[in-house]
Structure 1
Amino acid sequence: MDKKDIALTIPTLYPNEIVSIIVGDFKLTKMYLLLIVVLTLVIVTYLVLQLPVFGRLPKGKRLEKLRQLPNYGNGAIENLSPTPTKPEDVSWGQMLSKVIKGNVNGVPPKAILPLVPDFSPSESLKMTWFGHSSYLIQVDGLNLLVDPVFSARTSPFQFIGTQNFPGTDFIKAEDLPSLDIVLITHDHYDHLDYGTILKLKNKTKHFITSLGAGSHLERWGIKPDQLTELAWGETAELMGLSFTAAPARHFTGRKFKRNQTLWSSFVLKTKIQRLYLGGDSGYDTHFKNIGQTYGPFDLAILECGQYNDMWPYIHMFPEEVVQASIDLGAQCLLPVHWGKFKLAIHDWDDPIKRVTAKADELGVQLVTPQLGQTFSLENKPQTAWWKEL
């Protein structure tokens, strides 16, 4: 074959054809790169979601019991009343815009000054509030800790999320006395904190929680014989105390799938007192029903904070908190779920100002302890300490 024959076998490429080949190769390479990026993100997301902090969804007998609940349907637990995530006239875009905008008054202007707790054993009832929904009940010689969160952020990772208010990190899990019972109302991060549970599990005799949430605790090393899970209406007698799980109007979930574990309020009976531990809840008729069935109560501990018109069904406004305490037949009201974390866009002290005003109007007796202040029902703190900041 001579040079002329060889030349005839090589196709002639015009400039526009060369450009087309180059562009085609670039598009193909770009598509492959995009595919690799997407697959990498999918794999990383999957691996991250397997981390222990997210807990574990119920399965086996635990899941079967959940499916037998009268308010279980369409693969999830439902509230007693229809409870949409948001009103129909509110868009997700509006919610996101307002949350991003935030509120400069959502954090106290100065550090909160807590008091030094008194953890000495006690037969008579005394309590210590640590901010938000964490509090210690000491009664009948026992130590009962509710919804303990002692991490800096209510988040699966401590490098994201709003940080606790200055001055509110005055107590660590290691500082607490030995605990007889830890009670967890539901599995949200501001009530069930992975880091705190790891520090408490070896100093706690027993854990009580809503049905299904025990799956998280077991993954974190809590033994099944250390764990009691209750559905609404069920009662457990432990160490001389009586715990009854009761309805609440809320939701659960530590990942994307909601309402796979139960959320509850709890009725606590000691030798002498009857307390209502509210957990998180929007206002509804269940307060009246609980008051008629289990009340009256010496004290109602109700969430009062992190509310907004954009999610009015899952958290109470302060005025509703006061009405709920009346519905329950409570002699006095301790408003919690405020004073430590900014999880909504209202002013940091808006909850206590509004609940105080409504309580004064309706003649409801409030208990307003400082963070870290140990108190009894015979000596109820009623100081307006938030006004000093």
Structure 2
Amino acid sequence: MLHVLGKNPTSAIQRRFAGLTNYQNGRFQNLGGVKFSPGEAPMGKMLLDFLRKPRTVTPSRPLPTVQTDLHHPATELPTIIWFGHSSYLIQARGLNILVDPVFSGAASPVSFAVKAYAGADAYTVDDLPTIDVLVLTHDHYDHLDYGTVAELRPKVKHVVTPLGVSGHLRAWGYAPEQLTELNWHETTEPVPGVRLTATPAQHMSGRSLKPQRTLWASFVLELDECRLFLGGDSGYGPHFRAIGQQYGPFDVALLENGQYNLSWHAIHCLPEETAQAAQDLGAKLLLPVHWAKFTLAYHPWNEPIRLVLQAADAAGLPVTVPRIGEAYTLGTLPKREAWWAFD
């Protein structure tokens, strides 16, 4: 069981972090001094939320999914296949870039908690091709899944993580030469034609009782043809506009939209903030993620997509909402069939 926790940075590695502007007193920090810890969420309110949660926090029937042949892409153009929550595959010119994969059926250190919705678990590691670059935005269980990354290891050529996160992968058998760690605003080209820059996010990290020992990040992904923003998890803040000014505009922004709670507002966007963040980034298109697979907060399961579409449509921001497993190719018309329109 303990291997699921991974391994936080050693004292020697922590000493290398000393002096970084986003690292103080043994912990990574958000920009602007924004802080959050689970202990700051009022326990009484969380208990009431749990007791009052609507039956619609989970779908009443299996989610509709599409089985796409990931080994034989239909086009060389940049294409995104979303697997629910924050897991997705980006394919372009024969390259495969996988982000935050969780295919074990649970977003938890134990298999019986935070289980995937029926239909949302349609894909497994066996369905995936060889992965040129695995991108991990932070080490929470709904983004870094031990069972998935352990099974993926023979398929993965290179892994890019924020500072400290690669320690988990080394503990799980990944070779040091496979791993690249980045601080915010550092860049790597793990394979020809793929350029990744870590950028700030307003969040936190931790798989144990020692939070913030590893960094969290968003990423700018530059392919020859286009520029994508991979948002990870983040509360709303001025960093979105700053990233847009420095690295944008973006052909598409994949942004967290779901599993929000006012007690967690510092580290998770509300839907209208997701739409605003996409505008701040200068995104031509929004693809909302972090929903439709797990219940981590007690809003109706499809409320995030309904609310973000209202906000985006009012702002004239195009949004694409493919089914789980449905390929979306950049430059084509957004997918807007309301497959989520049921309790």
Q: Distance in 2 between matches of 1:178 and 1:253?
A: 28
CA 1:99–1:85: 2 relative to 1, 3 Å: farther
Q: Distance in 2 between matches of 1:283 and 1:104?
A: 28
Q: Is residue 87–residue 310 contact of structure 1 (8 Å, CA) maintained in 2?
A: no
- Compute the RMSD of aligned alpha carbons: 1.7
CA 1:90–1:266: 2 relative to 1, 3 Å: closer
**Deviation of the 1:67 alpha carbon:** 2.4
Q: Which residue of 2 aligns with 1:300?
A: 253
Q: Distance in 2 between matches of 1:85 and 1:251?
A: 7
State whether structure 2 residue 18 is matched by structure 1 residue 67: yes
Aligned mate of 1:345, from 298, 303, 310: 298
AA matched with 2:42: S
AA matched with 1:381: K
**Deviation of the 1:382 alpha carbon:** 1.9
SS state at 1:347 partner:
coil
Q: Is residue 127–residue 376 contact of structure 1 (8 Å, CA) maintained in 2?
A: yes
Which deviates the most, 227-236 or 68-77?
68-77
Q: Is residue 53–residue 194 contact of structure 1 (8 Å, CA) maintained in 2?
A: yes
Q: Is residue 185–residue 191 contact of structure 1 (8 Å, CA) maintained in 2?
A: yes
**Deviation of the 1:82 alpha carbon:** 3.1
Q: Which residue of 2 aligns with 1:382?
A: 336
Q: Is residue 86–residue 310 contact of structure 1 (8 Å, CA) maintained in 2?
A: no
Q: Is residue 133–residue 146 contact of structure 1 (8 Å, CA) maintained in 2?
A: yes
State whether structure 2 residue 170 is matched by structure 1 residue 170: no
Q: Which residue of 1 aligns with 2:27?
A: 76
Aligned mate of 1:143, from 86, 92, 96: 96
Q: Distance in 2 between matches of 1:258 and 1:248?
A: 16
State whether structure 2 residue 282 is matched by structure 1 residue 316: no
**Deviation of the 1:196 alpha carbon:** 0.2
Aligned mate of 1:291, from 222, 238, 244: 244
SS state at 1:202 partner:
helix
TM-score (norm 2): 0.95
AA matched with 2:244: G
Deviating 4+ runs (over 6 angstroms): 86-90
Q: Is residue 66–residue 212 contact of structure 1 (8 Å, CA) maintained in 2?
A: no
Q: Which residue of 2 aligns with 1:104?
A: 55
Aligned mate of 2:228, from 244, 268, 275: 275
Q: Is residue 14–residue 26 contact of structure 2 (8 Å, CA) maintained in 1?
A: no
Larger RCO: 1 or 2 (CA < 8 Å, sep 6+): 2
Q: Which residue of 1 aligns with 2:160?
A: 208
**Deviation of the 1:174 alpha carbon:** 1.3
Structure 1: give runs of 5+ residues left out of the alignment: 1-47
Which deviates the most, 349-358 or 60-69?
60-69
AA matched with 2:215: L
**Deviation of the 1:264 alpha carbon:** 0.1
CA 1:68–1:84: 2 relative to 1, 3 Å: closer
Cα deviation 1:306-359 (Å, max 9, x = unaligned): 101121110000000000000000000000000000000100001000000001
TM-score (norm 1): 0.84
Cα deviation 1:24-54 (Å, max 9, x = unaligned): xxxxxxxxxxxxxxxxxxxxxxxx6xx1100
Q: Which residue of 2 aligns with 1:336?
A: 289
**Deviation of the 1:62 alpha carbon:** 3.2
* Residues 157-196 of structure 1 aligned to structure 2 (within 5 Å): 157-159=110-112, 161-196=113-148
State whether structure 2 residue 257 is matched by structure 1 residue 257: no
Q: How many residues align?
A: 339
Q: Is residue 162–residue 181 contact of structure 2 (8 Å, CA) maintained in 1?
A: yes
Q: Which residue of 1 aligns with 2:175?
A: 223
**Deviation of the 1:163 alpha carbon:** 1.3
Q: Distance in 1 between matches of 2:123 and 2:324?
A: 10
Q: Distance in 1 between matches of 2:305 and 2:271?
A: 8
Q: Is residue 86–residue 312 contact of structure 1 (8 Å, CA) maintained in 2?
A: no
Q: Distance in 2 between matches of 1:111 and 1:80?
A: 40
Q: Distance in 1 between matches of 2:143 and 2:177?
A: 22
Which deviates the most, 166-175 or 96-105?
96-105
**Deviation of the 1:88 alpha carbon:** 11
**Deviation of the 1:237 alpha carbon:** 0.9
Which structure: larger Rg?
Answer: 1
AA matched with 2:187: T
**Deviation of the 1:141 alpha carbon:** 1.6
Query: Which one has the bigger helix percentage?
Result: 1
Cα deviation 1:337-388 (Å, max 9, x = unaligned): 0000000010000100000000110100001101110110122322211115
AA matched with 1:339: A
Cα deviation 1:143-197 (Å, max 9, x = unaligned): 01100000111111113x1211111111111111111111100000000000001
Q: Distance in 2 between matches of 1:365 and 1:207?
A: 31
AA matched with 1:228: T
Structure 2: give runs of 5+ residues left out of the alignment: none
